[in-house]
Structure 1
Amino acid sequence: MKVLSTLARLYVGDLDRALPALRELTGLEEPGLRFPYSGVEVASIGGFLVVAGTEEALAPFRRVQSTVLVDDLDGVQDLLGAHGGEVLSGPNQVPTGRNITVRHPGGVVIEYVEHTRSSTG
């Protein structure tokens, strides 16, 4: 199991208003991924995962501090379980593959995602 990349989570009210500055900052024309999910809209651009919606829609997502892309979700679950991590959600099927949300010892909450081949290009 290895970490492929880490995405900083940004919570915004309007994705279309947030993207122009992020496009310029990252030098990318378009988000790598953009999709609706559980009442919010999600986009990845550069090292950011932007989650957009109303305050009410964003509330359940705000506890997650980061999204980490991995090559083996089951391996992550085993490793973190051995170190006292608590799975809060998952494994779940999501638009990009599978995910789990884990509270690490010490309290940080991280979403781990294993992309399927079709979602990564």
Structure 2
Amino acid sequence: MTLPERWFRTRPDSSVLDRPRLLARSLIDAAALDDRIGRYERLLGARADLRMPIPDFGGLELAAVGGLLLIASERPFTPMQRRTAYSLIVPSLAGALRLVRANGGIVLEPREAIVPGARARVRFADGAIAELVEHRPRPGERPRPPGGPAPRPTGVRLMARLVTPSAAFERSVALYEAMLGTPAEARTRHPSPIASDLAVVGELLIIGSDGLAAEGAPAAAFALLAEPGAAAFDPGEHGRAERRLETGALAEIWTDPARGSRRPVSPHPNLRAT
């Protein structure tokens, strides 16, 4: 197979990853992809690190910028694609599926070969649906970084988000520490009017809040973690805000908990399971 001209991956082989990479998902029309890539590169101060046109699959094209996977298609998205909360690039799909089962999850769609490598769809023990993808290089493919100058750093990180009732917060942190193979990077009690516990696990922000969990408002597509002084995305005096981005996505903005106080976190007992 000859790869399309726009195809590039900085890591064609995900077996080199030391843990899964979790990505928030944005489903968009194929005609909007170039525009969205540029806007998110400027927002996050990061270049896209993969772009994969897959024209034989309904005009599908994927691009990753920071913690976001842009999924562009020429045809309507299926209900299952819309219900899928996360995409994970995993070192080993077989190992990831064993880990899902070991931690109370189930496989919804079994392993199948795809152009980037192989995929499966699962439901985690907390009910979240995720697509797991194992990347493997195509014949003759080499790592290829994007061209052009690096954007200016913005002090903003994009994270997938999970809102859970306060009573389930610790269980959620332990589950995703196991599923993502990493301890929580930061944990804090947030002093906003909606009292919240926050934990950053890999590329996921876990929010324990009875107030937010009970809200019926449309959920933000993802979270933006802003360093203090990132004026364009200042979450305000309460450290939390919602904003509609120029891309149309609704984002929840928090002061980055990794920039505040940290406390040691013990690894989950299944953290190294494979």
Structures share a fold, TM > 0.5?
yes
Aligned to 1:61: 81
Aligned to 1:20: 38
- RMSD over aligned CA atoms reads 2.6
Aligned to 2:120: 100
Note if contact 2:64-2:70 (Cα within 8 Å) is conserved in structure 1. Answer: yes
Moved more, 27-36 or 66-75: 27-36
1:69-106 CA deviation, whole Å, 9 max, x = no partner? Answer: 22121111112112331111121112211111100122
| TM, length-normalised to structure 2 | 0.39
**Distance in 2 separating the partners of 1:89 and 1:19:** 29
**Distance in 2 separating the partners of 1:110 and 1:100:** 9
Distance of aligned partners of 1:66 and 1:47 in 2 relative to their CA distance in 1, 3 Å threshold: same
**1:8 aligned residue (15, 19, 24):** 24
Distance of aligned partners of 1:63 and 1:5 in 2 relative to their CA distance in 1, 3 Å threshold: same
Bigger relative contact order (CA 8 A; separation at least 6) = 1
Aligned to 1:51: 71
**Structure 1: gaps (5+ residues):** none
Q: Percent identity between the aligned chains?
A: 27
Between structure 1 and structure 2, the one with the greater Rg is 2
- Structure with greater proportional strand content: 1
Moved runs in structure 1, 4+ residues, more than 3 A?
A: 26-31, 117-120
Amino acid at match of 1:33: R
**Structure 2: gaps (5+ residues):** 1-14, 144-274
The number of equivalent residue pairs is 121
**Distance in 1 separating the partners of 2:75 and 2:126:** 27
